[in-house]
Amino acid sequence: TAYRSKANEDFMEKEGFVSKVHRKKPHLKPMPRHIQKSNAGKSVIRSRVEHVFADQKSQTGLFIRTVGITRATMRIGLANIVYNMRRFLFLERISANA
C-alpha cells in the first residue's frame, strides 16, 4: 500500500514489522520537514522495486493469464530471468563505456 492506514499499522505491529509506509500530507497544510525527509528516504527503496515491476509489465508485456498456478509461476520466473539478463547487459555496456 502507498500510504498508512489504521488497519495496516495494526497488522504490522501485531506481526512484529516496522512500518516503512509513507505518510500523507496534511490536508490544506504544508508537509512537515521531518515527514518530507522520511518519505524521501522511503521513496528511494520503493522506486528501485517499482521499476522492476514496471519494466516487466511494459517492456515484456507481462500479463498473466494461464490455467494453473504452476504455469503462472513459470511465466513470472521467466520474466524475472529476462529482466535480470537485460539488466546485466545494460550494466555491462555502462562499465565498458566507462
| pLDDT tens sequence across 69-84 | 999 899 889 888 988 9
Instruction: Say how many C-beta atoms besides its own lie within 10 A of residue 14's C-beta.
Output: 8
Q: Is residue 57 within 8 Å of residue 76, measured between CB atoms?
A: no
Cell of 94: 555502462
pTM assigned to the model: 0.58
Cβ within 8 Å of residue 55, ≥6 positions away: 83, 86
Instruction: Say how many C-beta atoms besides its own lie within 10 A of residue 91's C-beta.
Output: 10
| pLDDT tens sequence across 8-48 | 899 999 999 988 888 888 899 999 999 999 999 989 988 88
Cβ within 8 Å of residue 45, ≥6 positions away: 20
The predicted model gives 48-66 an average pLDDT of: 82
Residue 1: the pLDDT is 64
